[in-house]
Every structure is written in structure tokens, then in C-alpha cells.
Amino acid sequence: MQLDDLLQRYFATNDLSGVAPDTLAAGIEHCRVDLGLEKDRGKRFALWSFLHMFGSAPDRDVAFENEEDREAARNFMDLLAASEGEGEA
């Protein structure tokens, strides 16, 4: 799953700057439904990560049955948090 493909699928654009709030909310809800239906672990992780970047991902314990997947999600969250802190001086 490519980021551009996900943006196009859920928001009908690759540029979020012009997306109306209701379109954003509808796209996020559509993605949450897809996450709930997806069986492939890799695709589930990609969808969860995408939702996490929008602040809309379900808790790791809810989203992932597998402990390895929950740990990968924790690592992803830690990496994002660390990268956000790099720009601060």
C-alpha cells in the first residue's frame, strides 16, 4: 500500500490541504471500516498506521491480535514521536 494510493482511495486527492472537514471525516471512517474487515496482517498494519497519522487509529490491543503486530505498532508510534521531536531546538 502506497501513501498516495491511500490518500486517493479515502480522500479522492493526494493533497489534503483542500479536503473539507466532512470529507476528511468520511474518509477516516471508511478506512476504519476497511481496517476492521482486512485479514492480511501487512495491510492491516498499513491501514492502522495511516489512521494513526490522523489520530484516529484504534488502540493497538483492539486492532491487533498478534503480540508481534502490537509491538510493531508501538515501535511505529515511538519512531513518529521521536521524529516529531527532532525539529525542536
pLDDT tens digits, one per residue of 32-89? 999 999 999 999 999 999 999 999 999 999 999 999 999 999 999 999 999 987 655 5
* Cα distance between residue 60 and residue 74, in whole Å: 8
pLDDT value of residue 43: 96
Number of H helices, E strands in the chain: 5, 0
pLDDT value of residue 52: 96
Q: 28: how many CB neighbours lie within 10 A of its CB?
A: 18
Share of the chain above pLDDT 90, in %: 91
| Encoded amino acid at 54, one letter | F
pLDDT value of residue 85: 77
Q: How far is CA 37 from the centre of its chain?
A: 15
pLDDT value of residue 84: 83
Distances (CA, A) of 12 to 25, 27, 37, 72: 13, 9, 21, 29
